[in-house]
Amino acid sequence: MALKKFVVGCFEDEKVLFPAVSKVRKAGYKFHDIYTPFPVHGLDKAMGLRDTSIHTAGFLFGMIGTTTAVTFMTWVFTKDWPVNIGGKPNFALPAWIPITFEMTVLCAAVGMVLTFCYICQLAPFVKRHHFHPRATDDLFVMVIECGEKTNEEELKSFLANAGAQDVQTQVAEEGWWIGRYDQEQELYKEPNIA
């Protein structure tokens, strides 16, 4: 957790954004992120991000659900409490299909959502620095990290030339913290903030 320096450029149209992204990449600048008000298809590829594997997690969670349901019901009705219910066999697999299916879906869905929240670090009371308030409205906000060697002014004019508006430098916390959006101070503060 540390404060870093970023150069921020805003774009109003994806028509302008896409060429700018490839230019920035070619120029070798390091993207911090691009904040968009809606999912812009192809932007992740353009930025060079790898595909997500969250669906694999979903599959695994689903399998856990299936296995748990089948083994649990089998154990209950054949080992722990074998009772005669309406003359049905104790191992009544067809009758367990509905519950098995539901458990599969439930585990997959809950597991995936929790995974998503975890890897994206999303939760109630999580607060981040937002580089531009209109990033969730109508601006595509490109944020480029300033390294030690980066020439800030050069980068700014580079972005402006690529079509960015309102280009500015911001020094901000790059991670998240526990906080309230209506208050500036953090709710929980670690002592070693640089």
Partner 1 sequence: MSVTKYESQLREPLVNGDKTYGQVTQDIVNTIEAKPTRLWYIGFYVSVALLMFGVYSVYREVTYGIGQWNVNRTIGWGWDITNFVWWVGIGHAGTLISAILLLFRQGWRTGVNRAAEAMTIFAVMCAGQFPIFHMGRVWMAFFTLPYPNTRGPLWPNFNSPLLWDVFAISTYFTVSLLFWYSGLLPDLATVRDRAKTKLRKHLYGVASFGWSGSTKHWQRHESLSLVLAGLSTPLVLSVHTIVSFDFATSVVPGWHTTIFPPYFVAGAIFSGFAMVQTLMLILRKVMNLQDYITLGHIEAMNKVIVLTGSIVGCAYLTELFMAWYSQVPFEQDIFFKYRIAGPYGWSYWLMMTCNVISPQLFWFRKLRRNVLFTFIMSIVVNIGMWFERFVIIVSSLYRDYLPSSWSIYYRPTIWEVGFYLGTFGLFFTCFFLFSKYFPVIAIAEIKYVLKTTGESYKNDMSTLENKEVDEFVHEMHDHHEEGAVKVVHH
Partner 2 sequence: MSKHIQFESMLSLTGSNADDRYVHRPSEAGAVALALYAALGGAVAAPALADERLKKGIAQAAASLKASGSASVVVSGSNDANVQLVVNAINQLLGAYGNSINWGATLNTRQGDDAAMVQLVNEMNEGKIGALLIHGVNPAYDYFEAKKFESGLAKVAVSVSFNDREDETSVRCKFQIADHHFLESWGDAEPKSGYLSFIQPTISPLFKTRAFQTSLLKWSGENTSYGEYFKQYWLTKFGSQAAWDKALQDGVVETPAAAAAGSYNSAALAGAVAAIAAAKPGTGKEVVVYTKIALGSGKEANNPWLQEMPDPITKATWDNYAIISFATAKDLGIAVDDNYEVEVAKPVIKLKVGQQEMTLPVLVIPGMHKDVVAVALGYGRSEKTGKAAAGVGQNAYPLVGFNGQSFTYSVAGASVEGTKETFKLAYTQTHNQYEGRDEVVREFSLKEFKANPTALKDERHKLVEDYAPTTGDYRAEGTLYPNHPYPGAKWGMSIDLNSCIGCGACTVACTAENNVAVVGKSEVLRAHEMHWLRIDRYFATYRDDSGNDNLDDLNVVFMPMLCQHCDNAPCENVCPVNATNHSSEGLNQMTYNRCIGTRYCANNCPYKVRRFNWADYMGADSFPDNQRGKLDDSVMMMNDDLTRMVLNPDVTVRSRGVIEKCSFCVQRLQEGKLKAKKENRPLETGADGKWDIKTACQQACPTNAIVFGNVNDKNSPVSKIRNEEQTNRLFYSLEQIHVLPSVSYLAKIRNTDRHVGVAEAAHHEEAGAEHKEEKKAEAAH
Interface residue list for partner 2 (CB under 8 A)? 83-89
Residues 4-33 binding partner 1 (CB under 8 A) are 13-15, 18-19, 33
Q: Which of 5, 25, 44, 66 binds partner 1 (CB under 8 A)?
A: 44
Residue 117 interaction partner, one of partner 1, partner 2, none, beta carbon < 5-8 Å per kind: partner 1
What is the residue whose two structure tokens read 């869905």?
109
- Looking at the Cβ atoms of 15 and 149, the one nearer to partner 1 is 15
Here's the x/- map for partner 1, 146-175, by CB under 8 A: it reads as ------------------------------
Residues 72-131 binding partner 1 (CB under 8 A) are 72-73, 76-77, 80-81, 85-86, 88, 92, 95-96, 98-99, 101-103, 105-106, 108-110, 112-113, 116-117, 119-128, 130
Residue 84 interaction partner, one of partner 2, partner 1, none, beta carbon < 5-8 Å per kind: partner 2
Contact status, residue 14 vs residue 40, Cβ threshold 8 Å: yes
- 35 touches partner 1 by CB under 8 A: yes
- Looking at the Cβ atoms of 63 and 97, the one nearer to partner 2 is 97
| Angstrom distance (rounded) from CA 150 to CA 166 | 19
* CA-to-CA dists, residue 99 to 47, 59, 69, 83, 107, angstroms: 43, 18, 7, 19, 12
Q: What phi and psi values does residue 37 have, to the nearest 5 degrees? A: -75, -15
55 sits in which H/E element: helix 54-74
Q: Which of 41, 149, 184, 192 binds partner 1 (CB under 8 A)?
A: 41
Q: Which of 27, 30, 52, 152 binds partner 1 (CB under 8 A)?
A: 52
CB 46, min distance to partner 1, A: 9
| Angstrom distance (rounded) from CA 67 to CA 71 | 6
Structure tokens belonging to residue 152: 């800030």
Structure tokens belonging to residue 158: 């580079």
Cβ-in-10-Å burial (0-12, 13-18, 19+) of 45 comes to: exposed
From the CA atom positions of the chain, what is the Rg in Å? 25
CB 147, min distance to partner 1, A: 20
